[in-house]
Amino acid sequence: DIQMTQSPSTLSASVGDRVTITCRASQSISSWLAWYQQKPGKAPKLLIYMTSSLQSGVPSRFSGSGSGTEFTLTISSLQPDDFATYYCQQYNSSPTFGQGTKVEIK
């Protein structure tokens, strides 16, 4: 199995901040990476696939980058609706997820 490690586990930020979450794979996954947002009691929502492709309807303040083993999700200007937990997921092989990063209000 490919292990996915996210950092940080928790991130405290304010509205308007630029936020970056990192996801590292235990081996190269090329660009086969997706990002999800999950709010309490809700299903995960796809934000980005193929490392940097924005899912339809997702605000442009979300962006993704990286390749190989290191990837980032960036929120350019944090909005009140963005406080949530974020997960990365690799699909180079059998899907595996990172442990999640909770973005909380500072």
Partner 1 sequence: QLQLQESGPGLVKPSETLSLTCTVSGGSIRGGSISRTGYYWGWIRQPPGKGLEWIGSIYYSGNTYYNPSLKSRVIISVDTSKNQISLKLTSVTAADTAVYYCARQGVVTPNNWFDPWGQGILVSVSA
List residues near partner 1 by CB under 8 A.
1, 32, 34, 36, 42-46, 49, 55, 87, 89, 91-100
Question: What is the identity of the amino acid at 45?
Answer: K
Residues 6+ apart with CB under 8 A from 81: none
What is the smallest separation between the CB atom of 95 and partner 1, expressed in angstroms? Answer: 4
Q: Strand 101-105 vs strand 62-67: parallel, antiparallel, or unpaired?
A: unpaired
Between 11 and 17, whose beta carbon lies closer to partner 1? 11
Least gap, CB of 15 to partner 1 (angstroms): 26
CB of 16 to partner 1, least distance (A): 28
How many CB atoms sit inside 10 A of residue 18's CB?
11
